[in-house]
Every structure is written in structure tokens, then in C-alpha cells.
Amino acid sequence: MQLPTEYNINEAESKWQKYWEREKIYNFDINSKKQIFSIDTPPPTLSGKMHLGHTFSYSQEDFIARFHRMKQENVFYPFGTDDNGLPTERLIEKLKNVKSVKMKRQEFIDLCNKTLNEIKNDFINDWIKIGMSCDFSKTYSTIDKNSIKTSQKSFLELYRKNLVYQREYPSIWCVNCQTAIAQAELEDKESESNFNYIKFPLDNASITIATTRPELLPACVCIFVNPNDNRYKNIINKKVKVPLFNQEVKIISNESADMEKGTGALMICSYGDKYDVEAVNKLNLNPRVCITKEGKLNELAGKYQNLSIKDARKEILNDLQKNNFLIKQEKIKHNVNVHDKCGAEIEFLSSKQWFIKIIENKKKFIDFGKKIKWHPKTMLSRYLNWVNGIQWDWCISRQRHFGVPFPLWYCEKCNDIILAKDDEIPIDPLNKKIKCSCGGNGIPEKDVMDTWATSSLTTEIALNLYNIKKNIPMSLRPQAHDIIRTWAFYTIVKSIYHNNNIPWKEVIISGHVLDPKGESMHKSKGNAIEPKEVLIKYGSDSLRFWAAGAKLGEDLRYLEKDLVTGKKTIIKLFNASKLILMNLNDYKNETPEKFELIDLWLLSKLNNIIKNCTEYLENYEYSKAKSEIENFFWNTFCDNYLEIIKDRLYNNRGENAKISAQYTLSYSLLNILKLFAPIMPHITEEIYHFYYSKKEDKKSIHISNWPEYNKKLNNKKAEKIGDEIVNLISEVRQFKSKSNKSLKEPVNITLPKNKHQELKHVLADFKSVCNAKNINFGEKFEIEF
């Protein structure tokens, strides 16, 4: 056979990616009778570019997919992109320099779709370039017709099951994005602020409250004090005037007031936080909302109307000071809730929103969550902690443009909700005129759904894409840990509500990529690394090799030396294979009459590696599998075995000795390639096609059979003797290098007499690899030149 002189990583990787696509190697075969292994692939958010964290986590799930494919399972590994909702709107606004709120909905939607079409192919290509083995022949988008239909169908079903409701209620609001958001989208941000001690006049006395939000004074509806607080016992139920704004509010005794915090007197506003929302509702107080949806103060704020929250705070504090209401200020650091998409501090505003019921079914979500196998195990407690801490039902309506529309209208006459019929979806109610049974006109719902309301249905969306009838639960959900509270949780909710079942049997959670110092990577920090540059320099096999270095859930530093090791391994595989395959030119697949002992040693060792790697990969421990095969290949196979048997290949030591080596080489190289294949799909495919593709009659190593553990190859005795020989060889090598001699320098070796019986069958190999002139048996082990 003719082998190329060198391996051009970039050319070869792109060649094989095209080959896999052309030969449909990863296409899902719906007619196959094989057992299905299905993966609920995370659809990356279409952000224009893949980042290093993607290459890391997607490589890890791909190792698992490739392993199961080689185990001859029918791997269902779809690919989609998440491209609706706020992140996409923000991307389009940035790319096209527009503001969605200033555009007509349809105009903005058209612009989004047009832009997505422009950038999507390049985006998906990045995933192909890292060697993902998804079925890229069909991909879904969370805003395509199939997804809108699936999502609207889910809504209609939940509506009929009485699991969604609409309610006018103070909910979490982002004044920057101008939409309601869900609890899962909140992040904690530490911020510096002032605790302002403000005096509220009361007859001849006063009561002081401490607040970080003086701009909410116009929204103050009452003051809470603890019934056990002696300071305030005799003013309970009295009324005080709110400074500057002069509305009269009552001092109410309430056990929830914390005597230790501030002055122990607490201002209740509509609405500073969830506590306020509950207090106002419980006591049935008239809310005074002073903040608009745009984040400005309204007419209740009097002269401060139209100021932003920040400016109003400043002005009000100034005036409080001028009028001697501000007693003192304390600098504090505290955590504030911000919107995860934009970082803006959130408000609580009353508005009409759609909610999916969550609170009343927490126990179910916990029980079902425990039925799923989480890897690593600790991730289950993250899930449980989240579910236990949920305080709100899931708000799914968004006052935005580019999302899945709610399939409904409101009757202008009788106020009834008119739902779209099942055969009408996908539908945008804005584009259809409809009449209520009472004769009134239907007014379309303008809100769109939270993007998670759709991406929580990825299992359904992917199965629908292939017209697969129910195959729930799927085998596996891979994802990152920061979206356990959103993607994992919401998918479990929907699966329970629709199928009364878990969505997948197992979940694997990947960690994050850190910079070389162990800090998180961010474009803003200037420490982010472009996957494209890494791919050009090292290729995707090296990148995957690096990604295989971290366990599931474990963060991994990006260290260039790991990429270098990956690249060296590729080159070593290529060169070792060339050497081996050249020596198989005259090999006709014969089995030797008798195996040489060192061959039995290698076959037995390799057999153990096959057993271990298989078990590791079954348990998602690809990093252990990687280090086993890496170690075996470099040390046992290249450094020792190949050196030991060279003599049998080149010098005439008999037909059987050569065939025994050739058999072992052919068998072990094939299995080494297969064990490496899930992690390094390109170089292994390249070498496989030099020789084995024809021999095994397979179009690709990736659909060839995974190596099987063979009990018969187990040979403890051969392993023991082989290990001993390898130790002796290492001593001889050390002796030569300590004496500053070449490894080829001839030596005389004396072995202990009592080892004769054991070592007699490996002496020829030992002699040649050590370049020994003579091997004698004597009292003890000795080497001399």
C-alpha cells in the first residue's frame, strides 16, 4: 500500500468531514431494527460564533455518541439551533443596528428570519468543524414551523389540562428589555449601595425607616413593625406622613418585620420585592405603583415624574437632606437581582401575564427528578435545591416580538379566550381575523412565549423532525450546569405534564472552560480564546483530546501544552501506523501456529484496556478511558512492544515469529484506533482507510464494531513475564543512557539463574531489543559493555 509521507491535519479533517456527510455516516436510520440511543442535543443559541466552552462540552457528548454508534446502536443525535427570544432579538438589533420596540412586529420578524438565514450556515459549520457526529442532514430551529407547532400544541394541551393561567399580578419585570421574565432568569449581583435612614413625621414624634430605595417613597403603602418591638408598641395603628410625598400610611404590627434589621421599622412599597408583593396582597392594600414599564417614575412621583430610577433616587435624597428628613447614610454591599440577559436590576410591576403552574406540583418535579440518573451525581442536589427554592409559577409571556406567538384571541365583547384549533397551528393570531361564538371580534394576543417554553420541548421537536412516534424517555440529555434551573427543569416539567414521564433516562452535565490561571473566560476580560485559531493551529482532534481531559461537571483550564500533547499523539499515531502497515504488506491474515510470549503479553494487556475503556464509556467516564488508551499507546505499545518486535519483522527469525508479530500488530493497531476513535475521529478514520476499511468492509471506523473484550486473550502468566522483561529492558536503557551511550550500543547481560525457566521464551526478543551480544545466566542481574 502507498502511504502519504505526512499527515496534514487541517486538510485531512475537512476531507473526512465532507466524506462523512457525503456517505451519510451519521444519518439517523429510522428503519433500523437496532436498539436506539437517543440524545437530546443542546441547541446552541445562535450568537454568530462558537466559543471555546462550546467546543469543550459538545466534544464530551460526542465521545458518548460515537461510542454508542460503534457499539452498533442506532444513535439518534439530532442538531438544532436555539434562535428565538431575547438573545436572538439582541443579536439582530446589534447586527442590523435597529431597535425592535421601534419597529412593527412583522417587520422585525422578517428582519430576524432574513438575518438568521444569512448567518446560520456558518454557525452550524463550526459544530461540524469540531467533528460532531450529529445528523446534520436535517436540523431544527426553535422558531421553525415544526417548533412553533410543537410549542403551541403544548400550550393548548396545558390550557385544556388547566395547567396554565393568565393573571394580572406583580411579576418580575426587566425595565431594560421591557418584558416580564421568570425567576430562573434572575442572577445575583453584588452591588454597593446606601442604607438611608429616613424620618417619617408622626404627631410630635417620628419613626425612622432604613431603605436602599428612597425612590419608592411615593409607592409606600404602610410600615411594618414587629409586635414584640418595644420601641414601637405605642404607635401601632397610628398614621404617618411619607416625607416629600405626604400620603398617609398606617403603622402595622407584623411578625415578619425583622427587629434586627435597620431600625426594625419596615417600609412596604408596591413593589420593592417579593416580600412587598405578598404583604400588599395579604393585607389587601391599595397598591401605589410609581414605576413605569420603561423604568421611569410616573405621576405619583409628582415633581420627579419622568426621571429614571437612578436620577430620581439622587434627587429625592437631595430633597430629603434639604428638608432634614435624611438622618444618616450607611454604605453597604448587598446582592441585587439582575436580569441574566442584560444585567439590569429588576423591578416588580403589575401586568397581565401567562403562567405555567409550578408551585403546586413541586413534589412531583422532585420525585421525577430523582428517577433520572444524573452524572455527576451531585448535580441532582442542584436540581432539587432549585425546585425547593422556587417561589413563583413560571411566567411564560414576554412583551417582545420574535418568539412563538400564543395561539389565542380575546373576545372584545364577552372577554372569552378563543383558542386556535389544533389543525390551525402553527399560527400567528395577528395574521388571522376570527369571531367569537357570541359574534364579537377576536383580538389577537400580542405577547410571545418565553424561549424556554419552546426549548423545553426539544425532545418532541427533534422526534417530530424525523416523524418518530413517541420514543420518550430519550436516553440522554447533555447540558451545562448553569441551565439546570431552566433547560433541565423546564423540560422535566413539560415531560411530566404531557407524558407523565421523565424526558430522558440520564443527564450528563459538563463543566466550564477556564483560562490558564483558572479564571473564567470572557471577551470583556480579554482572556477569551477563539476556537477558530486553536483549530487552525492544532486541529479538532487535538481540541477534543484536550476536552477529554476533564471529568463530567469538572471545569478545565485551557493550557496550550495539552493541545500540544494532542497534536503529538496524532503524529505518533500516524507514524507508528505507517511503520506497522508497511510491515503488513506481505501479511495475509494468517494466524500463527504458536504466539510468541511477548505478543500474548500485548494482547492480554490490550484486552484489559478494552474492558476498562468500555466500562468507563458506559459510565460516561471518557476522561478515564482517554488516559488508559493514551498511556497504553505511548508506553506499552510504542515505547516497548514496537521496539521489542522490530527484529522479528526485519531479520529472518522464522516464519512463525514474524506472523505472530504481524497478527498482533494488525489486531492491536485496529483496536487502538477504535478506542481512540470517539475522541479523535479524524486521524483514526484516516489510518483506518489505509488498511482496515477494506479488510472489515466498512465505510468508516465510526460505524465499525467497538472492540470486544475476549476472555480467551486473558493471560496472566504472559502479562507477568512480559512486565518483567519490560522492566529489564528499562534497566538496560537506563544503564546505557547513564553511561552516555547510544541505546544501540552492544552490551553483555547476565540474568539471575532462577529466572531461566520463566524467561526462556522471550530471550530472543529481549536480546534483540537490548542489542545484547550475549545473554548469560549467573548469580545476579548485570550489564556491561
Residues lying near Zn ion in the complex (CB under 5 A): 174, 176-177, 339, 342, 344, 411, 413-414, 416, 436, 438, 440
Return phi, psi of residue 530, to 5°.
Answer: -80, 120
- Give, in degrees to the nearest 5, the angle at Cα 557 between 556 and 558: 120
The nearest distance, CB 385 to Zn ion, in angstroms, is: 25
CB of residue 93 vs Zn ion: minimum separation in angstroms? 13
**Cβ neighbourhood burial of 284 (10 Å; 0-12, 13-18, 19+):** exposed
Torsion of CA 598, 600, 601, 605, to 10 degrees: 150
Nearest distance from residue 296's CB to Zn ion, in Å?
A: 16
Please tell me the distance from the alpha carbon of residue 538 to that of residue 10, in angstroms, as a whole number.
Answer: 8
**Least CB distance to Zn ion at residue 101 (A):** 13
Residue 670 — left, alpha, or beta (φ > 0 → left; ψ -120 to 50 → alpha)?
alpha
CB of 172 to Zn ion, least distance (A): 10
Judged by CB, which is closer to Zn ion: 94, or 362? 94
Residue 341 or 578 with smaller CB distance to Zn ion: 341
CB 283, min distance to Zn ion, A: 31
CB-nearer residue toward Zn ion: 106 or 335 = 335
Give the largest CA-CA distance in the chain: 115
- Choice between 26 and 410, CB closer to Zn ion: 410
- Whether the CB-CB separation of 468 and 30 falls below 8 Å is answered with yes
Nearer to Zn ion, 334 or 413 (CB): 413
Q: At closest approach, how far in Å is the CB of 439 from Zn ion?
A: 7
Shortest Cβ distance from residue 166 to Zn ion (Å)? Answer: 16
Q: Which is nearer to Zn ion, 332 or 438 (CB)?
A: 438
CA distance 731 to 775: 15
Helix (H), strand (E) at residue 62: helix 52-70
Report which DSSP code applies to 48. S
Shortest reach from residue 436's CB to Zn ion, in Å: 3
- Measured from the CB atom, is 109 or 177 closer to Zn ion? 177
Length of the chain, please?
Answer: 785
Other beta carbons less than 10 A from residue 737's beta carbon? 12
- The grid coordinates listed for 721 are 513475564
Please give the Cα distance from 355 to 447 (Å, whole number).
13
Q: How far is the CB of 179 from Zn ion (least distance, A)?
A: 7
Min CB(245)–Zn ion separation in Å = 28
Residue closer to Zn ion (CB basis): 378 or 441: 441
CB of 162 to Zn ion, least distance (A): 21
Question: Are 243 and 255 in contact, with CB atoms under 8 Å apart?
Answer: no
Compute the half-sphere exposure of residue 150: CA atoms within 13 Å on the CB side of its CA. Answer: 27
Identity of the residue, 174 or 513, whose beta carbon is nearer to Zn ion in the bound complex:
174
Nearest distance, CB of residue 180 and Zn ion, angstroms: 11
CB nearer Zn ion, residue 166 or residue 176 = 176
Residue 440 or 592 with smaller CB distance to Zn ion: 440
Q: Which is nearer to Zn ion, 343 or 778 (CB)?
A: 343
Residue 675 grid cell: 478506542
Q: Which residues of 465-499 are buried (b: 16+ CB within 10 A; e: fewer)?
A: beeeeeeebbbbbbbbbebbbbbbbbbbbbbbbbe
Element (H, E) at 567: helix 560-582
| Nearest of 612, 738, 600, 722 to residue 661 by alpha carbon | 600
Q: What is the DSSP letter of 372?
A: S
| DSSP run (H or E) holding 609 | helix 597-618
Question: Phi and psi (nearest 5°) for 297?
Answer: -85, 145
- Which residues, including other chains, have CB under 8 Å from residue 273's CB and lie 6 or more apart? 348
Beta carbons of 577 and 45 less than 8 angstroms apart: no
In terms of CB distance, is 153 or 400 closer to Zn ion?
A: 400
Task: Name which of 596, 585, 713 is nearest 656 in CA terms.
Answer: 596
Q: Which residues sit opposite 173 in a β-bridge?
A: 180, 347
